[in-house]
Amino acid sequence: MSDIDVAHADVTDVPLTFDDSVVLLDVREDDEWQRGHVAGAQHIPMGDVPARIDEIDRDATLYVMCHAGGRSLRVAQYLARNGFEPINVTGGMLAWAQAGRPVTAPEGPDGGSVGTV
């Protein structure tokens, strides 16, 4: 299977808020998500994407993120082959946290404290 080119974005080019027009798809595993994620992101683990593809808004600007950028690239390529126009977030959650962007963890003492990635 040949690689398909997808757009890439630096974490600083990704919005901090998400709505019907902009989606951040986090494809990390559940345990990674629980350790910390971007507020408002849509969580579908990589292995579940094919079965749950209809949950992803085809009309929204779609950013795809994982821990470091490798899995999200593979998912972005899969989505591109299936009619989406995804944008892979370069560096993933590691780069997001290193850039000082907000990370939430649901198990934090206040339900939204900064977590580790």
**Looking at residue 115, what is its pLDDT?**
45
Better pLDDT: 107 or 54: 54
pLDDT digits (tens, 9 = 90+) for 24-82: 999 999 999 999 999 999 999 999 999 999 999 999 999 999 999 999 999 999 999 99
Cα separation, 35 vs 29, in Å, equals: 10
Among residues 24, 49, 66, 76, which one is catalytic? 66
44 a catalytic residue: no
pTM for the full predicted model: 0.88
Does the domain at residues 7-98 carry the CATH identifier 3.40.30.10?
Answer: no
Residue 106 or 88, more confident: 88
* pLDDT bucket at 111, cuts 50 / 70 / 90: very low
Task: Compute the average pLDDT of residues 9-30.
Answer: 96
Domain boundaries, the chain: 7-98
> How does residue 3 score in pLDDT terms, banded at 50, 70 and 90?
confident
